[in-house]
Every structure is written in C-alpha cells, then in structure tokens.
Structure 1
C-alpha cells in the first residue's frame, strides 16, 4: 500500500466525459480484483467495457505500490509486438535482443501493480499466453482485461457487462436515461430533463437496448433534432435495417443499426472522412488527417470543419495532451467505417497516403533530432508509434513496398536507439532486410542501423556481419555516406570489444569521411564523443578532452542534447581520472537527467554507474565524506536497468573498470550485510525512482541512520587515481 497522501504511479488516461451508473459492476469488479489475479470484463462492442475497467482500475490503484497502467491492445495487430506494447504501456524500456516476454517477466517479478489490457478480442490466444506467463512470473501482478470474448486463461474470472438499465424502481431515473441526459447537455447547452422528454428518452433508450455507445450517438443528434424526432426516425431505421440479420445477436443488430443511422445522418463528406480516417491506428492530429484524407471529394481546407462535426456527433473522440489536440475513432466505429472504405475502393490509396505521411514524419524527426527540438521530435514520434507500426506493417505486407519499409525502419533509428526501442526496431529491420536483399542505399542504411543496435544489445554475432555487409556494399557502389556510417559503427563494436586503439582508427576514418561529404548530425557528434572515450581508455586524457570540447562546442551551437548527454558521461569519467570529483558529479547527474528525457536506457545506466563510483569519493574530507552505502545502492539500481539493456556494461573490460573499482571500495568499507542490503534496495527501484535518486531525491536522513560514523566505515584511502598524460586540467564547462 502507498503511504497516505502520496500519488500512486500509473498511466491511466483522464476521463473526458462523465461516468454514469455501473455502481454494482464497479463493486463486483473491485471484489474480484481483491481475490483474483486475472479478471476479464466481457461484453459486446459499445457496451462500455473500457470505461468500466478504467474507472475500477483508478479506484483500486492506491492498493498497488506500482499503480495501475493501461495497455491498448486494440492498436496492436502483429502478435509479435504484443510484448513491446505491454512494455510501452508500463513505461518500461527494453533495449535487449531477448524476447519481450522474458524482459517483462524479469522486470515485473518483484513489483505490485495492476495492468489493464484493453481490447484483447482480436489477439485472444496471444493475450492468454502472455497473461499466463506474466502471472506465473510476477506474484504481485493483477491483470484486468477487456474483450468481447473470454481469454480462456488459467485462473481467469469473468465479469460480463450488460447494457445500462432502461428501467428503475420508483421515481429513480434509469442509468441509460441519465447517460442520455448527460451527453445531451454537452451538445445542447441548456438541455434539461422534463416530465415530457424523460418519457420520450426512456422509450428511446429502451429501443436502443441501453447500449451506452448507441445512447451517446443518439444524444449527439440533439444538435439537429428533437428527442421526439430522434425516436421516430430511429424507429424507422430499425424497421428498415434490422431485417436479414438472423444470425447476429439482437444487441449487435441494435448497435449496428444505431451506428448506421448515425452514418446516414452525416453529410456525404462527413461519411467519406469517417471512412478515410480508419486508415489511422490509434490517435492522429489534424495535420495528418488533412494530408491523408483530403482530395477526391474533400478539400484540404474543409477537413477541420468536418473533423469538428464528427466530434460533435460523437463519432470522433477529442483528446488533449502535451499541448496538442488529437483525435481517435472508437474500435466499433472504426470497424464500421473500414467497411465503407473498402466499399469505396479507396483503401489501397489511403494506406499509401498514410504510409507517405508517416515516412515524412519519420524523416522530419530524423532531421529535428539534430537541433534544439530533439525532445519534441521524440515526443511526436512516440505519439505516432501506433501509426508508424501500421505503416511498417503495410509496407512489409504489400508487394513492391520493400524499399519504403527499409527507408522507414532505417530512418527511425533515432527513435529505436534514442527512445529505448531497440528490440522493436530490430524486429522491423530484420523483417525488411529479409524481404529486400538487393543492394540499395536504403538497405545500406538499414544494415548500419541494425549493426549499431545489435552492438548496443551486446549481440556481435549479428552486429559485425551487418556492418561488414554495409561496408562492402558501400565500397562496391561508391556510397561514401554508407561507408562513413559503417566505419563509425564498426568503431563502436571495437570500443565495446576492448579494442580502443582499433576503435580510434575507425572513428578517425569515419570522421574524415563525414567531413568529406559534409555530414554533420547527432551521429557525427557521437563519433567524436566515442573517439574521445577511446582515447581516455588508452590513457590519453588530453586527446580525449580535446574531442569532448569539440562535442560540447558543436552541441551548444546546434542545440543538440542527446549526443551531449553521452559526452557528459565521458567528461565525468575524464574529470574523475583527474581528481575533479565535484565537476564529475555535476556532469554525471546531467547525463542521467538528459538521457531520461529521451528514455535512453544506455545513457541513463552509464550515468548511474559513474555516479555510483563518484559516491565513493569524498568532496571535502570529513565535511563531505564518501557515501559507500549510496554507491552500492546506485549499483543495484544500475544492475536492474542493465537487465533491460543487455550484457551489463556491454561485457567490456574498459567500461566495467569503474564499476569494479566502485564495488571494491564499497565492499572494503561496508559490512557484508550493509553491502548486500544496499544493493538490494537499489535493485528494487524502478527506472523513474532510480533517476530521482541519482538526481538527489534521497530520503531525509539517508546518511544519518548508521550505527557507526561514516568515517569509521569508509573504505581505506586508495592511491591517487592514475593521472594520464595531459591530465593537468578538465574540460572547461559550467556546472549543469
């Protein structure tokens, strides 16, 4: 349980419209979640499964130290991406080459949280396998699923959801009538229930079987019709449209008829836009709708007004967040509109326009990644994640689209690497490379991106062949740009492989090629940082600091933050070697902070490792002594994050040296129990908590609870750290 007054962590969306009724169901759901680890809310489309599950999850979230989190399964079409979607919904980042299910099982093993899996009906079997594996691995996990059919997983408890009541005892208003009145007041200012219209609304809700979505759609008609007109016209539609559907459930027919009637009440342009908007997966913004859906009957300048009308008619949901308005279709309405899109014969054209828009968005993000809008580029790409998946799926499933698939998957390197989606990026790139073996510039880029990501994952068996193929293709085709990137990433593999001299040669060669072709971006700055680090590992501090200074100057000139964050790690390492502990701590903290903005696990965990080592160094003798317990705690936190990255410290002797030095100092100065307990406490922190701790968010009195004074428990003084040649001063940079 959380302490009183604290906010439970979690990722549940805020409610946009009022919640009406469902008191009994909420009570039953809360009781089920108390005794069952897997509860599935079932019912037909439009009955309100999602709203009920989210309201119940919000009500019980305080009982879970890890909070309640939403995973929108309905947006996932490829079963192989289900694990990635769950990681994303939980705010976890996986950069390993391991199956996402293994990472999830490990990450959730010691956490207590509630996960809402929304919209599982199209992936019932994969969802059942996933929840079974996770529940076995994580004793503190509860799963609340919504689906039109049960998952049939072990231990599953069901809560079937019926439509809202259309009758009530005494003079109480039925919940369906209350819902209609609530939504009517939103579209018709001044609307109020009267004795006359209450009777009419009750009849109308009864005809709609109390299905919430049908009731909301009908209420949306009040902008143009009276309640009586809605009832009369809808009655006509029932008589006309419900025939000939003997095989379907009456409530399904009711909902379909209501949606169909809402569809017919739209103008021809609104109907056309509704159909075209089904090309989107999940949310979209106005600019995307204008590009994808305009033309052939819809002028671009009319899209905004048409979108506004569809929002007013409850066809589109309006969502606001991160300073921008976005829209989405409910799954039931998307399914209906998709049938009309197929009937128009426009589906292929719309999918291609959708692909083109998100190719452009990825290209924009790659350009903006080098500049002051890096964080915005990461956020915009993250918001488009579902649509990017849909575009990639289209390219990989459509003959002749293999090159666009390579382009899109390769262009998104900044998102796969910089925002912690290495596993998913490898998934798309491996599929695209397998479909397009011919040597093209797009394949060359996909190869170096794959090699880069595999290197970060500690997978040289995949990294080196991909990078060598890229290098050879570049030589064969005269592609200087691809050659520069291949040499650069081969340098990364050499650096991690404890060949700093060879790495330095490759980085210098790559930088020469970059300069020759006029390339300057975040990758080029990373090559400079990596060259500086290679020199530091060779004991050449002055040369290393030279490259760090160049990285700093270029980052400041161009407003670059991602490469700069990695540069800060190298600066901190250099300053530790030179004995400037205070400056090193400032830079290591800023390294963690900036990398956390991008959710870049590799950068975060390198910064944590450096801060752990620096905690073993006193700043001003007895006034600010070393804190060995904190050092070991930060190592525990880093260890947990490495599990989501790959081999700790890449399996590299050079990168591992500071870690081993830190552990040796802590072990020498702490008792065995303190040493183990501090590590355990750190390993229990999730990513955000670990970052808060590293940035100074420590409990009050964290230093003062020891039985013996810190000075007694400190590690013995070691010899001065080796001062490599040229270590007379540190990089001139202000405290961050």
Structure 2
C-alpha cells in the first residue's frame, strides 16, 4: 500500500520507506496530490495539464502528462495507480492519502481523527515555477482545508468545555492557535479555559502575547474583547460601552488617534466631524487600545446634558469622586486622580461647549489626566489638539468591482445589510447599488447603516433608486441608537439647533450652493446686504467649527467650502421654507452670472486653463443659477450667463448639456425682446457652435443665419464677420466649397478691416480646409500657416492645434 502525505509538505512512501527516482520528482508528486484533493470526482486531463504544465503548448503538455503517469506506474510497480482516461482518479485500493482521509473524517463527524491528520498547510513549501493557475488552485484548496481543520479543533475544544474537561479544552485551543495565532475566538477560548483551570496568570500572559503579536506583526491594536476580558481578570473591569461589532474602514484613524493621545506632550484630543461620521465609535476603540497601558479609563456620555455647569459634576460622578460642599468639582477630580494615569472620554460635547473653560482648568491642574473628547465643534482652548473624523472614502471608479469590494464604505454597507437580511446575495449588481448608496449619503457611516437596515424589505438597487429623490429613507436605526441618530435628518437637526439665530440664517442660505463654493461667494451670497459681505464670515467660521461646513482642497488663492450633501439637503429645505428664498437664490444666480461674464474673455487666451478650472469647480452652481433665472423669467441674466458659458461647455466636452441649457434659454418668451437681440445672438452663436460639434449641422446653420441677421441689423461689424466665419465652416462641412470660399473671403476682408484677429484666423482656417479638399495644397498651406500664426498672436492654443492638424494633412 502506498501512502501520500500532503499536509505540512509532500512525500510518497511505500512499504519499505520513501520512494525515490522519477516518481519522486516534484511535479509528479503534485500530480498525485491534485488527484487526491479531487477525491472520487477526479480531474480531467485538460484541468491537470492547465494546472501543471501551463508553459507548454497543448501537445507537449499532454505528452508531459502521459510521461509522468508512465513514470509513476513504472516506479511504484502499480499499473492501476491512476484510473480513467479523460477523467483521472487515484485508485484508493493502492494509494491512501492524508487529505482524502481528512475529508472523509470531517464528513462523518470524526473531528478528532481529522485534527490528528492535519499536520500543517496542504502542500506546505511546494512551488511550481510559471504555474500561476496552480498557485490560485492551491490557495483555494489550502483555505478550504485549513478552515475545516480550524472548525474541527474549535468543535473539539467546545465539546471538551461542555464536559468541563478544561485541560483537554486548553490543549485543543492551543492547537487552534497554532494554526492561526491571531484568531480571536481561539485566544478568548484559551483564556477562559485557563481561568476555569485556575490559571489566571497564564490567561493574562496569553492576552499580552496576543497584544504584542498584533502590534509587532500587524502594526495594529489588539482585539478589544480580549483586552477587556484581560482587564476584568486584573480586577478592573472596563468602564467603556460595549460595541458588539467591529469598526470598518477606520484603521488609519485609529492608529493616528491612538498615537496622539499617548503622546506625553498632549493632554486633550478632540475628535471633531459632522454628525454620523462615527466619532463615538472611534473614541471607544481608541480608549480600548489605550486601556491596557493606563490605570483606568472612564466614559462620560454628555448627550443628555443641556447645562454646561453640569459637565464637571458628571465627570466627577463617573470617576467616583464624591462632591464636597463649596469645593469646585475640578479640584475634587484632580485631587482624587493625583498620581494615577487615567483617560477620560467626554462624548457629545457640542451642546455643552461653554464648559470648555472647565476642561481647560482640569487640564492645567491635573496634567497626568488625558482627555479624549468627541464633539461636532472645537472646544477652542489652548491645550486642544483637533483630529477631524471625515466620512468614509468613496469608490473612485464605481465600475471597478474589485475596488468596490475593498472600499470601506461599501464593506460597511454590505456588513450591515447582511445583518438585516442574511440571504442577501452579493453580486456585481449589489456592489454597484451599494456604491451609489454610499455616494448619495456622502460616505457617512451612520447614514450607510441606516440605509443598510432597509435591506430587510428592499433590495440595494431599490434603496439606491429611492435615495435619488431624497434622504427620508435613511431613518429607522436600531433601538439602541440615541433618538438623535434614528434618522440622518435628526442628526443634522441636532447640530443646527446648537447654532445662534444668525448662524442658522447663514446655514440655510448656504443651501443655495451645489458642490461647494469659494469663501468669497459664500460671504457675498450669505451676507445680509450688498454693502457688508464680510458680515457672514464669522457665521461661516462658526459653521466650520460645528462641522456643518468643511474646508475643501483648492488653489491657494481660491479657498473653498462645502457641505456634505446630507447636510446641504437639510439647509436647502430650511431655505425653501424661509421668506428670503427668492432673494437668496437671486443673489446666488447674480454672483455666478458675474463670475461667468468676468471669466468669459479669458476662455480663449493665455489664462484659459485657469478660467476653465474655476468654472469647472462651480459647474453645479452655474447650472443652479441658470435654472433659477429661467424659472424666474430673468431672460437678460439667463442669456448673459449662457452666452458666457458656451465656450466652457465646448472645451470641457459638455456639449449636450450646453445645448440643452441654451435651448431652454432661447425658448424663453422674454428672450425675444428687441433690446436683448445682441445677447440673444451671443447665445445663438454658442448654440450653433455646440450643435455643429455634435453633428447637428442643419440646426447649426439655422442658428448662424439668425445670428447674421441680428448682427447686420445692428451694424455690428465684428459680429457680422464672426457669423460669416461660422456659416463658411458649415458650408465646408456640407461640401459646398464655393459657398465656403465666398463666405470666408467676405469674413476675412471685414475682420481685417476691423482688426478682429481671432475671427480672421477662423476665416483662414476655413479657406485652408476648403483648398485642401479641393486639392490646392499650396494655397491650403499658405492659409493654414497664416491662421496658425494669428492664433498664436492671441494665445489661442486650442485654435493653433486645430490649424496645425489641417496643416499636417496637406
């Protein structure tokens, strides 16, 4: 009988010891191991060849397989060692393997036999060069077998515990830790078994070894449950709230915040951020990480307090300090904690922020005390070190399935969704819907969890669709959540209620902005009057401090602010309910009309890129401004704004969007007024340009002909020349080369008379393209070279590239 050993290595033995010769070659033994792992199902010849000889062509690979089978049969003396032709299986009457015996033992519930057979990872140390598919297959088999072994050992340990045989349970738990030294269940199981045997000291040493291994091997923090259990064994049970589930996507924040609070020169760390970002959860995990290295940790929930005077008495009560008549609680706390290294967590400080002075005094009189504070606004005292807790990062590419699976926000949604609906299938559609949900709620952990809870009744796709029309669906959290976190709107409302009246007015006005705003824009739009735009600056600063408004990375000379969309929706609702709605939306539209008109002349010169980037940052705001002007029948403003923006839409590729806006503006009845003719012609020039760039040549011609009529009626020479150039280009596109030449020559003559260099360059491009397509290459080169030179004079880099492209064709 032959015996194949696959756990912890790879070898083949007969009755007289290990086999040698050709049969013992590595790839041939791997062939036997692969068939052993396949069991009675066997493996097809194609599958074996793909795994073991991927580098060879099909004929050579099949020959290598046949040669390997022949060598194995010859050297073992067993012609029936491998059975079958198209599908290969091992003959279990001739060869026995530990892997097949292991799987049979698991199947019949003989976990002790299975545990004794598993002596290490399947094919440990085995490697085949240039066999990527084999490596993938091997990883999968190893994982399946190791998980089965771990489950067997855990079953054996728990069975021993149920029989109160803690000595045997300890042995099995140790065996399990030998397979996975960081397995939380195994560490806790071993500690509990040791305690049951009366060996508390070894249980504590087990926790210490776990903590050291996690810090050294993973550069992380030990499991909170293990540390809390260890703390309870020392006779100092943890005072921190119990959080049953893990924290997802905050590893970096946990590491940085923990290192900060442990710094000798830092006494007060404030975790700030918008409501729902997970400040409390992060603070608890930081406190758990620090707990083994301080004398005591206390957690003080301030959410029920409304009077700042009650903060220090609440801290004293949590720390077990008895009040003394006439004595400041701060002095009592400092005296009681003198000489002890302690951490005090103050949760939900924002509504009692006036107690910051008392906190500052405690820091001064008790320097050995560390304070970890969670608040939606800074305390604003000298000792404070602020750590901003941002929402979870969103997927950059919603079509990259691998990236979606790894994304923290998506992982959080899927984890909570699975808890709400264990039968939820995680396929590509689910991942895509999860990504849309996370983006809609700005990556806020609280909102993600509230949305995931809806998976009890809805599919992720349905939730994503419903959220597109509003955030009311994001409510109904767990009953253990505070009332202010039962819906995302209540979370925002909690922060807004803490603002002054002036700050609330500015908060509502900021709802007019979409996608953020420059500080200058926010100041001007949110001011109480045109003459005092700076009046809003203090309120804006307060909103940043309250985490309702966030600074946004931007060029140095153009600082920007933005609201999370969840917060902005609340602000917009407040604005729409207010009496100043139309006034604020009008100021918003006016600011962006002025901005666009100021930048419009720069969209074709040396500063084109800066102007385009500025407009791109406010793309959403520009759309909101146009929409308000159209709905308010403000035709002059709408025409001016659309006319100023069409070149931005053209260069940045927003062609269909630009056409849609221009169509809405030009359809306004008031835009037909004679006094607006020139503005209307400007907008129609944009409409025609965008139309012809999308292939709508006939529609473009109609626009340009109307523009020409208006320019002639107003005797606008430059405008006439530009319209002739546009019509000449349309004629060229329609292959009416005679008409193109006539219109472009007329344009060139007029443009040169009035000094319109940019328009003259357009005419020369038309003439060059016409000559090129007529076969007059010398004429084409001359016209296009003149066009390129003129475009360089006016710093029209896009135009230079256009002319030079035609030149390259000549």
Question: What is the TM-score with the length of structure 2 in the denominator?
Answer: 0.42
Q: Which has the larger radius of gyration?
A: 2
Question: What is the TM-score with the length of structure 1 in the denominator?
Answer: 0.46
